[in-house]
Structure 1
């Protein structure tokens, strides 16, 4: 008899590379950049807690699990059952991925449990864990591959250390941010890959990136992906993802030229051709190679 399968949304120590991720090692992961409505708090004990709410988002990962695995998670989260005295309650809530919506189990605190707890910035436990480092690896896949605006903004020295060409698997480039003059780049989960420039930056550079990426205006959010550089895996590398994704829109020619200029002679020939072909096939854009 086949074991029943459940969906579960995890947002803290059960996420990839976190301390309890072994409990989901054999589980199928549907999404590493999904979200649900709620508020995320730092308990102060090395793990976060989410409460229900409709005004903000909590980011995490979506898995399929068996009954046996669900029992293990219940034990970890201190859930004894409905109507019992629980550390976390287990509820069912809608989770949003780049491609679908799913009703799934989520472990939450009650409102009475979060008195005096600190809210976690950006609703992402990995941001809480990794954004306070002195040095950070940053994966740029769009116009930040091009150094021209760094020069104009007087921050070129902050992006002088380049770790190499990074490859991010199971994502694809999409122009899913609609601006006043056209689309802006994003990466969405898929069965493809994205290449970009990996910088080694100081923590002080985050403010420039937040302003440039519209983080303070809730346009992009900091997120973390695994990156391959010269065959070596680097876990939890910073990047920026569009928060409210829309149908793809043709990017302005100047913006597309920035992406191609930054990618040229840096990413693989195969990926550079893919960038150009996608602009041509999707949006009928023919950029002058001399302008790149």
Structure 2
């Protein structure tokens, strides 16, 4: 629920601020948050996102659509610097962006954070940003992308059946997504489907080098149009290097974990075996056995 109340939300050690554009990780104004503690990298709040045409987005508060971003805990001094960037001079002033308090949904629960929002009457000529995600708007336009697969796309059987195996032949290696863990949070008609959620652990997967022509297949397979999964960009480490803004897909409406059907679990393990680390493979097997009493 939208909360348009006093925007001076003060936490014990600072202020929690939701950012959705150039302040996000690896974006050009992120330096203003370089010393701030990141609370969540994969979170959302209600609103609509627009392209101002000036190299940064504008969020308009709402109650139905979602805007994705990150939450940081900032000091009063850091908040003042953000106010300057956003053209916020105080309540009741002629601000470029207003600063309000709004609920933000994370993988850990719902919190309240400060959000900089634009006046809706000023966005009539702006383009809507698809998926409510500034990073998707920027990086899905690239001709070539790195794609991190952690679930059934570890395996190539369905690629062959769909006649797209040639689009997934450039496999760069086993990637590690630090700060995430595998969970079966998508409830389908026959059981759970894989997701990665924020945690203090890590998830391993296969890193593909794909072209933009591959996206329609992945979007269909992941149910992007139906808002089952959404495209997202994360950091992935492989070959001794960390690669920024690697494409993956995350469950939109997460549930409590549900046991995956046997055929789906087998697909993940078949694609993972001999490719990911032995220790992580054993963790996948152990989790299926202990969480869901499955025999693998």
TM-score by length of structure 2 reads 0.95
For 1:59-138, list aligned pairs within 5 A.
59-138=68-147
CA distance in 1, matches of 2:119, 2:255: 33
User: 5+ residue gaps in structure 1?
Assistant: 288-292
CA distance in 1, matches of 2:267, 2:240: 27
- Which residue number corresponds to residue 178 of structure 2? 169
Shift of 1:216: 0.8
- Which residue number corresponds to residue 151 of structure 2? 142
- Which residue number corresponds to residue 290 of structure 1? none
User: 5+ residue gaps in structure 2?
Assistant: 1-10
Shift of 1:4: 5.3
- Which residue number corresponds to residue 235 of structure 1? 244
Superposed CA offset, 1:239-281 (max 9, x none): 0000000010000000000000010000000000000000000
- Which residue number corresponds to residue 34 of structure 1? 43
CA distance in 2, matches of 1:246, 1:272: 24
**Which among 138, 141, 158 is matched to residue 167 of structure 2?**
158
For 1:45-64, list aligned pairs within 5 A.
45-64=54-73
1:278 matched to 2:278? no
Where 1:272 maps in the other structure, the secondary structure is helix
Shift of 1:164: 0.8
Q: Is the 8 A contact 1:4 1:67 kept in 2?
A: no
TM-score by length of structure 1 reads 0.97
Where 1:22 maps in the other structure, the secondary structure is helix
CA distance in 1, matches of 2:246, 2:260: 26
Superposed CA offset, 1:122-159 (max 9, x none): 00000011001001100000000000000000000000
Runs of 4+ aligned structure 1 residues displaced above 6 Å come to none
Where 2:93 maps in the other structure, the secondary structure is coil
**Which among 189, 197, 204 is matched to residue 195 of structure 1?**
204
Q: Is the 8 A contact 1:225 1:235 kept in 2?
A: yes
Q: Is the 8 A contact 1:227 1:233 kept in 2?
A: yes
1:213 matched to 2:213? no
Where 1:56 maps in the other structure, the secondary structure is strand
1:14 matched to 2:14? no
Where 1:205 maps in the other structure, the secondary structure is helix
